[in-house]
């Protein structure tokens, strides 16, 4: 049993978190989901979902950290206390998964330096400007480099989560998980229908 | 501005609610999302998401009611108090949208009688057995009958929500909404990749 430690903050994008949560939560014998924010308590998504969280200090190491994106990342890329705590959580994680502009937060910790990573295509210029030491991939549904998975915008997080399941539990399990939730999984990380035509 | 009144209950399926919430919430000038449960307070999804809600008595009429499904529907189809209150909320709604086994709850109120409707394909036999007076459609991504939209399982709720946006705000808006969240919208309600081969 692995724990998916979801990192939430005000104005997170609902589906960035809830898409992967649906995938991992459907495999209840393999994964347990826990919800965290820096100070704990209620966190409100951009879509008004108010979610109860535990504080960062309660998070167990050696598990999986999931970082969503959304408009809430805009102030956080300049929040030294948040970034310092996020870096500590990410360093002690077994795997790190980011969705959308969640990779902006991870890039600001320095942990993506010299690694391949992707992000939301609408926000790509902003995200990549935050840290040019990252090897940003403009055309990818998701990217894996070492223990770090980064996905493109919002819905791409579901494809990445299924990709993670595929890599750790096999293709049969990943396909069955997608089928059970009636999701047409984009199985190829290099197939990015939303990449910029540049 | 229309309100999307999301009806939550313990063990609701996270993505059944959060998929459509993402779609409608991305159109912040058109829709506002509010979260309800019978008695209000914290409701916990099957994936452990703890969400703050208002009580049913606070819900405004003449808005849009969204009913997710999930394992939490199993006890509720036998909960006369819940069904009675849900029927009252649905009767006063402008539109009703159900995802997955959310249609089981609406079927039990009698409001789907003689109407076309669909549901989750894995749970189809159970749902249809609850009320044979409904004209159940076995092969559909989503179904519209009058002011009621019903969708197939989990992810189909996103296609249905985009279908609702298409019907009310036009195809350009629906396609842009899907594109902005990097979602490959299945635009055809009759294209059901998960229908049973029967």
Please tell me the distance from the alpha carbon of residue B73 to that of residue B46, in angstroms, as a whole number: 11
Whole-Å CA distances, A136 to A43, A69, A86, A195: 30, 16, 20, 13
Which of B12, B30, B35, B47 is the best substitution to test chain A (most A C-beta atoms within 10 A)? Answer: B47
Q: How confident is the model at residue B197, as a pLDDT?
A: 53
| Low-confidence spans in chain B with pLDDT less than 70 | 197-198
With CA atoms as reference, report the closest residue to A37 among A62, A18, A16, A11: A11
Please tell me the distance from the alpha carbon of residue A146 to that of residue A130, in angstroms, as a whole number: 21
Chain A contact for B24 (CB, 8 A cutoff): yes
- Per-residue pLDDT tens, chain A, 198 aa: give them: 999 999 999 999 999 999 999 999 999 899 999 999 999 999 999 999 999 999 999 999 999 999 999 999 999 999 999 999 999 999 999 999 999 999 999 999 999 999 999 999 989 999 999 999 999 999 999 999 999 999 999 999 999 999 999 999 999 999 999 999 999 999 999 999 999 754
Q: How confident is the model at residue B198, as a pLDDT?
A: 45
Give me the residues paired with residue B142 across strands: B151
With CA atoms as reference, report the closest residue to A36 among A11, A13, A4, A72: A4
With CA atoms as reference, report the closest residue to B66 among B17, B101, B32: B17
**Closest residue to A50, CB basis, from B18, B47, B51:** B51
**Closest residue to B15, CB basis, from A35, A153, A181:** A181
In chain B, the DSSP E strands lie at 2-7, 31-37, 39-44, 50-55, 64-67, 95-98, 116-117, 135-136, 142-145, 148-151
Chain A contact for B11 (CB, 8 A cutoff): no
Whole-Å CA distances, A95 to A36, A86, A148, A151, B165: 16, 13, 6, 14, 37
Whole-Å CA distances, A151 to A95, A118, A187, B158: 14, 6, 13, 19
Q: What is the ipTM of this complex?
A: 0.95
B18 and A49 within 8 Å at the Cβ level: the answer is yes
**Chain B residues touching A46 at Cβ < 8 A:** 25
If contacts are CB pairs under 8 Å, which of residues 145-184 in chain B contact chain A?
152-156, 179-184
Q: For residue range B96-124, what is the model confidence (pLDDT) as tens digits?
A: 999 999 999 999 999 999 999 999 988 99
Please tell me the distance from the alpha carbon of residue A87 to that of residue A107, in angstroms, as a whole number: 10
A14 and B25 within 8 Å at the Cβ level: the answer is yes
What is the CATH architecture assignment of B2-188?
Answer: 3-Layer(aba) Sandwich (3.40)
Please tell me the distance from the alpha carbon of residue B35 to that of residue B23, in angstroms, as a whole number: 15
């Amino acid at each position: 049993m692995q724990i998916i430690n979801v990192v939430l903050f005000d104005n997170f994008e609902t589906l960035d978190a809830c898409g992967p949560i649906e995938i991992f939560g459907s495999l209840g014998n393999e994964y347990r989901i826990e919800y965290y924010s820096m100070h704990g308590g209620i966190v409100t998504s951009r879509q008004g979902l108010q979610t109860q969280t535990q504080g960062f200090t309660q998070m167990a190491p050696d598990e999986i950290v999931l970082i969503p994106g959304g408009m809430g990342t805009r102030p956080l890329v300049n929040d030294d206390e948040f970034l310092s705590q996020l870096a500590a959580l990410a360093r002690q994680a077994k795997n790190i998964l980011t969705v959308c502009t969640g990779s902006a937060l991870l890039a600001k910790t320095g942990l993506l330096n010299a690694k391949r990573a992707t992000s939301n295509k609408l926000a790509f210029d902003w995200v990549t400007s935050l840290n040019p030491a990252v090897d940003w991939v403009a055309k990818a549904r998701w990217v894996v480099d070492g223990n770090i998975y980064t996905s493109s915008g919002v819905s791409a997080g579901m494809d990445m989560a299924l990709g993670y399941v595929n890599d750790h539990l096999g293709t049969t399990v990943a396909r069955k998980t997608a089928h059970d939730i009636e999701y047409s999984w984009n199985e190829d990380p290099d197939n990015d229908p939303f990449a910029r035509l540049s």
